[in-house]
Amino acid sequence: MREYIELTKPRITWLILMSTGVGYFFGLDRTASLNWPLLIHTIVGTGLIASGTAALNQWWERESDKLMRRTAGRPLPMGLMTARRALWFGIALAVLGAAELWIWVNPLSSILGLFTLAAYLFVYTPMKSRTHLSTVVGALPGAVPPLMGYAASSGILTREAWSLFFILFIWQFPHFLAIAWMYRDDYARAGIRMLPVVEPDGQSTSRQIILYASTLIPISLFPFLFGMSGKIYLVGALILGFWFLYTGVRVAFDRTNVRARAVLLASVIYLPAIYGLMVLDRPSF
């Protein structure tokens, strides 16, 4: 049972569902109630299709996962289940999730989910071993969850939804670049061409971290500019954004694993923190 859960990458799924929830919240009409049944269908459906994507990804990469210390403990490299079983499990989850969204939420959210699955599995994953630009491509499906949540509660995608998309899109770069820096030897072993593998001195990596972290600051202000959240969010987003940038600056000057881990930690705190502030600081009750 445990290995099945492991196959679905639960920690990432939790992050995805949090982002979906935030999108859902903002898609609601301000005066409307939460509509619990719809929210539950959205969360469950998104959770299923995200878990299915993760499982299928692990099935696809089961051979290269054996080469990386970070992933060698996963169920398939460990031989805890057959590849065939994992494949069918992943397909089942994905189909169930897409169906749940289509039937009980709306076609748009289901299509977005399927797009995410397709882009992640058929575009991003094959690109990983070929070019470091895979990170850019991978960040696109990675940022779709808030769109799914927004589409679920409102049925359309507005500039508010896209502002959430962009925040999550830009956020992924410092997050994954920091991980890639810390595990660059591991990635090299598996033949995955992340930027720190391709340019091992880390200069371009840390430059990009700074670039994306600074871009994140103005992007994170859009919810305030669009009237989604108020001044408390504005102040909080600025403080958190500059702190995140600060960790990026520190790793640029001192390209050690410890500094990279600081960036990673900051990213893990940053996202739930701004989500929380965004949701709480709604101008009208």
Of 72 and 235, which has the nearer Cβ to another protein? 235
- Residues 8-37, one symbol each (x = binds another protein by CB under 8 A, - = not), give ------------------------------
Q: Out of 18, 98, 216, 277, which residue is the one contacting another protein (CB under 8 A)?
A: 277
Q: Out of 152, 192, 228, 262, which residue is the one contacting another protein (CB under 8 A)?
A: 262
Q: Out of 5, 34, 225, 269, which residue is the one contacting another protein (CB under 8 A)?
A: 269
Does 281 participate in binding another protein (rule CB under 8 A)? yes
Burial class (CB in 10 A: 0-12, 13-18, 19+), 159: exposed
Of 106 and 205, which has the nearer Cβ to another protein? 205
Question: Do 173 and 143 contact (CB within 8 A), yes or no?
Answer: no
Instruction: Give the interface segment with another protein, choosing from 145-153, 168-176, 186-194, 268-276 (CB under 8 A).
Output: 268-276
Q: Out of 129, 227, 232, 242, which residue is the one contacting another protein (CB under 8 A)?
A: 232
Does 234 participate in binding another protein (rule CB under 8 A)? no
State how far the Cα of 159 lies from the Cα of 64, in Å rounded to an integer.
39
Does 258 participate in binding another protein (rule CB under 8 A)? yes
Does 66 participate in binding another protein (rule CB under 8 A)? no
Shortest reach from residue 275's CB to another protein, in Å: 10
Of 62 and 259, which has the nearer Cβ to another protein? 259
Shortest reach from residue 232's CB to another protein, in Å: 6
Of 78 and 280, which has the nearer Cβ to another protein? 280
Q: What is the Cα Rg of the chain in Å? A: 19
Of 85 and 255, which has the nearer Cβ to another protein? 255
Q: Out of 34, 118, 156, 239, which residue is the one contacting another protein (CB under 8 A)?
A: 239
Q: Residues binding another protein: what is the number (CB under 8 A)? A: 18
Does 92 participate in binding another protein (rule CB under 8 A)? no
CA dihedral 95, 99, 101, 107 (to 10 degrees): 110
What residue ranges bind another protein (CB under 8 A)?
232, 239, 243, 256-258, 261-262, 265-266, 269, 272-273, 276-277, 280-281, 285
